[in-house]
Every structure is written in C-alpha cells, then in structure tokens.
Amino acid sequence: MALGRADYNILPADARAGGLLPWIIAVMMYLCALAIFSAVSLQFGIATWSENLERSFTIQVPAETAGQADFDVLIHTALSQIEGVASIDVLSRQENKDLLETWLGKGNVSDELPVPALIDVTLAVDAQVPQSTLDAALSAFPGARVERSASWLSQIKTAALSIIANAYFVVMLVLAATLAVVTFGTRAQLAAHQSTILIVHHMGAEDRVIAREFQYSFLKLGLIGGLLGTAMALLTIVILWLTFKVPDVGLVAVLIENWFAVLFIVPIPLGAALLTMLTARFTVFSSLKAVL
C-alpha cells in the first residue's frame, strides 16, 4: 500500500456499496420525473387551451332562421360590427353534418334534417363583449343563442388542476418514500459498521468526519439512481411522443405538445443526489447523538 493513500476510507468498501439502493432511487426518481413532467406539461397545456377558449364563443341559430336567404352574409355583417370581434367562422352545412354524425352515426344525417347554424366567434386579446351587445346584434335572428365556453371551461380547468395537484402530491409521496429508504439504508450501514464507527469515534473523530464517510457514498448512489430514473423517464416520454404524435389524442396530446416540460426533470439527478446526501448526513448525525 502506498501510505500516500491518506485519503483512504475509514469505512470498508461494502459500506459504500449501495446494493439495491440506486435501483430503488431510480424507480422513485422515474415516478417523480413522470409526475413532474405530467404536471408541468398539463399546466402549460391548460393555460394555453383556456386562454384560447375564454376568448371564443359559439352562436347557435335555429334552422328556420338560418334558412333565410343570404344568412351567412347577414350574420357575418351583424357580428363584424361588434367591437373586439377578431374572427367569425360560420360552419358550413357539411361541417354541421360531420359534427352530428358523431352522435347519430355516419350516413344517418339526412338533408331534410333541420340542422341549426353554428357560428364560432373569436374575440381579440383582452376584448370584452357584453351580452347586451351580442343580444342587440343578434336581434335580427330570432332564436339565436350564445354559448360561452367559459361556463364549462371552469369545470375542465378544475379537473385539470386536480390532476396537477395529484401529480405534485405523488411527487411529494415519492420524495418522502425516498427519504425513508435512504434513512433506513443509512441506519443499516451504521448498524453494520457500528464497531468501526465506535473505534474512530473513541479516537476523537468528530461526527462530521464520520458523516462525511457516509454522505459522499450516498451522494454517489443518489446521483446514479437519479440518472437512471431520469433516463428511463425521458425514454418513456420519447416513446409516448413517437406513439401518440397525432393530433386529437386528448391528454397525451397536451403532454407531448408541451415537450419542453422535460426541462423540469433534467435537474432530478442532481436533486436526488443532494436529497440522498443530506438525508444520510442527517441520519448519521442523529444516530451518533445516541453515542456519547
């Protein structure tokens, strides 16, 4: 041995081998990464989605009123005079039929079926249109009804927020479980090497010296676990993206459209390493307090 090996570890090598610990941390961090990614991307997705919907509403005009000559021009003219209206989209007869086929089945919508006209109106950013203004503009179209998205959007937002809250709750649970696993792991190592620790303790080693023996090995284990877990999570996201990279696939679409949410999981390995190190350090300190 080179006596120059003055940086040799006081604890034997098996005290620094984590066994299954890196894998357990990897699984924890995998769940943590997916939960964070889901929460963040959903948060971004809902924000964008609701911003668009809050500025739009749909006008439904009964078939008998919509059947009048030059209805499209008249309604367009009436709505375009309202200040703040950015776009007006009168759905064609075919588009209406396509919508109805979702409910009635393909080919079941006959031309004789009285189908109301639907007009999508989008307002300019920050524009406010009072209901009275809309009512005045639509007075020439008996039976016309305005359906604002805001009425059902708040329910969807509430549902989305509860999903996000649950995701963060999962993150907290996973972190708590990681703390518990690392604490038990550190205690097991302390118990396994109690005699060695007592010897150096009685030789005058300060608690921080003994803690240092543990904390850096646990830092390494946490980093390995964090890297493994984050890599697995990124792989999962890529697979999801490749599998569902088609429009209109619901929640998954929201997730993959906000791919940049992966930036929020990149620091996870570092976080896992720090969390593991600090937990081990705290555990060693609290355990050594029981020894004079």
Residues forming the site for another protein (CB under 8 A) = 1, 3-8, 10-13, 195-196, 199-200, 202-207, 209, 289, 292
Round to whole Å and give the CA distance between 24 and 182: 10
Closest distance to another protein from the beta carbon of 216 (Å): 16
- C-beta of residue 211 within 8 angstroms of C-beta of residue 278: no
Closer by beta carbon to another protein, 9 or else 48: 9
CB of 217 to another protein, least distance (A): 14
**Min separation Cβ 198 and another protein, Å:** 8
C-alpha distance across the termini of the chain, in Å: 34
CB of 3 to another protein, least distance (A): 4
Residue 153 tokens, joined:
């959007």
**Least separation, in Å, of the C-beta of 12 and another protein?**
4
Question: What is the distance between the alpha carbons of residues 234 and 3, in angstroms, rounded to a whole number?
Answer: 45
What is the residue whose two structure tokens read 């964070």? 36
Kindly report the number of other CB atoms within 10 A of residue 164's CB atom: 18
CA 88 to chain centre: 33
Angle at CA of residue 27, ends 25 and 33, nearest 5°: 95
Distance CA 123, CA 35 (A): 35
Could you tell me the smallest distance in angstroms from the CB atom of residue 210 to another protein? Answer: 10
Q: Least CB distance from residue 200 to another protein, whole Å?
A: 7
- Smallest gap from Cβ 5 to another protein, in A, equals 7
Cβ of 262: how many Cβ atoms within 10 Å? 19
Which amino acid, residue 268? I
Strand ranges across the sheet with 145-148: 85-90, 117-123, 56-61, 145-148
53: three-class secondary structure by DSSP: helix
Q: How many residues does the chain have?
A: 292
Largest CA distance in the chain: 101
Between CA 206 and CA 224, with CA 282 as vertex, the angle to 5 degrees is: 110
